Amino acid sequence: MKSERAAHFEPHIQGLRAIAVLLVVVYHIWPGRLTGGYVGVDVFFVISGFLITGQLAREIDASGRVRLGTFWAKRARRLLPAAILVLMVSALLCLALMPISSLPLNVREILASTFYVENWSLVASSTDYLAGAHESIAQHYWSLSVEEQFYLVWPLLLILAAWLAIRFVRRSRSGAGEPGRRRAGMVSMIAAVTAATFVLSGVLTDLIGPPSYFTTYTRMWEFGVGGLVALLPVLRPRSRWLSAVVGWAGVVLVVGAGLVFDNATPFPGWVAAIPVLGTALAIAARRADAWWLPGRVLAIAPARWIGDISYSLYLWHWPLIIVAPFVPGWPLQWWNRVILLVAAVLLAWATKRWVEDPWRGWRLLTNARARRTAVASLALMAVSAIAVGGLWLVRDPQYRAEASELAAVRSDPPPCFGAASAIAPCDASALADTIIPSWGFAGADEPDHPECLTQLNDATLRTCTFGSTDPAAPRVALVGDSHAYQYLDAMIGLAESNGWSLTTYLKGACPWNAGPLAEGGTFGAACTAYQERLADALGGGEPFDAILTAAFATTEYRFAEGGPTVLPRDAGPAADGYAEAWSAAGAPIIAIRDNPHFAEDPNKCLRSTGSAEACGSPVADAVTDPDPIAVAAGALGPAVTLIDLTTTYCPGGECLPVVNGANVYRDADHLTTTWVSTMAPILEAAVREAIGG
633, 640 Cβ separation under 8 angstroms? yes
Each residue of 548-562: pLDDT tens digit?
Answer: 999 998 644 443 333
Q: Are residues 151 and 38 in the same domain?
A: yes
Q: Are residues 188 and 44 in the same domain?
A: yes
578: left (phi over 0), alpha (psi -120 to 50) or beta: alpha
> Does 66 map to a domain?
yes
> Does 530 map to a domain?
yes
Q: Are residues 351 and 492 in the same domain?
A: no
Helices (H) and strands (E) in the chain, counts: 30, 11
> Does 511 map to a domain?
yes
* 390, 407, 424 - which closes a domain: 390
> Does 419 map to a domain?
no
609: left (phi over 0), alpha (psi -120 to 50) or beta: alpha
Each residue of 541-597: pLDDT tens digit?
Answer: 889 999 999 999 864 444 333 333 333 345 677 888 999 999 999 999 999 999 999
Q: Radius of gyration of the chain from Cα atoms?
A: 29
**Cα gap 202→273, rounded to integer Å:** 10
Residue 563 is predicted with a pLDDT of 31
Q: Are residues 254 and 136 in the same domain?
A: yes
3-state secondary structure of 143: helix
Q: Are residues 43 and 140 in the same domain?
A: yes
Structural domain span for residue 22 = 4-324+332-390
Q: Are residues 377 and 453 in the same domain?
A: no
Q: What is the CATH number of the domain that holds 672?
A: 3.40.50.1110
Lowest mean pLDDT among 46-55, 162-171, 201-210: 162-171
Q: How many domains does the chain have?
A: 2
Lowest mean pLDDT among 160-169, 403-412, 434-443, 492-501: 160-169
- Return the closest-CA partner of residue 531 out of 520, 516, 518: 516
Q: Are residues 355 and 473 in the same domain?
A: no
Segment holding 582, helix H or strand E:
helix 572-585
**Cα gap 241→293, rounded to integer Å:** 8
- Give, in degrees to the nearest 5, the angle at Cα 486 between 480 and 487: 85
406, 674 Cβ separation under 8 angstroms? yes
Q: Are residues 460 and 558 in the same domain?
A: yes
**Average pLDDT along the chain:** 89
Q: Are residues 501 and 386 in the same domain?
A: no
**Cα gap 294→288, rounded to integer Å:** 7
Q: For residue 304, give Cα distances in angstroms to 7, 9, 16, 222, 351.
A: 17, 12, 9, 23, 16
Segment holding 211, helix H or strand E:
none
* 390, 408, 435 - which closes a domain: 390
Q: How far from the centroid of its chain's Cα atoms is residue 52's Cα?
A: 28
* 390, 411, 436 - which closes a domain: 390
Bridge-based pairing state of the strands 589-592 and 640-643? parallel
Residue 127 is predicted with a pLDDT of 80
* Cis bond before residue 268 (omega within 30° of 0): yes
Q: Are residues 383 and 462 in the same domain?
A: no
Share of the chain above pLDDT 90, in %: 65
Residue 132 is predicted with a pLDDT of 62
Each residue of 185-216: pLDDT tens digit?
Answer: 999 999 999 999 999 999 998 887 778 899 99
Residue 566 is predicted with a pLDDT of 34
In the predicted model, what is the mean pLDDT of residues 502-526?
A: 81
Q: Are residues 103 and 179 in the same domain?
A: yes
**Cα gap 176→172, rounded to integer Å:** 8
> Does 100 map to a domain?
yes
231: left (phi over 0), alpha (psi -120 to 50) or beta: alpha
> Does 310 map to a domain?
yes
Q: Are residues 41 and 117 in the same domain?
A: yes
In the predicted model, what is the mean pLDDT of residues 617-627?
A: 91
Residues 6+ apart with CB under 8 A from 656: 612, 613, 615, 616, 649, 650, 664
**Cα gap 154→194, rounded to integer Å:** 12
> Does 404 map to a domain?
no
> Does 369 map to a domain?
yes
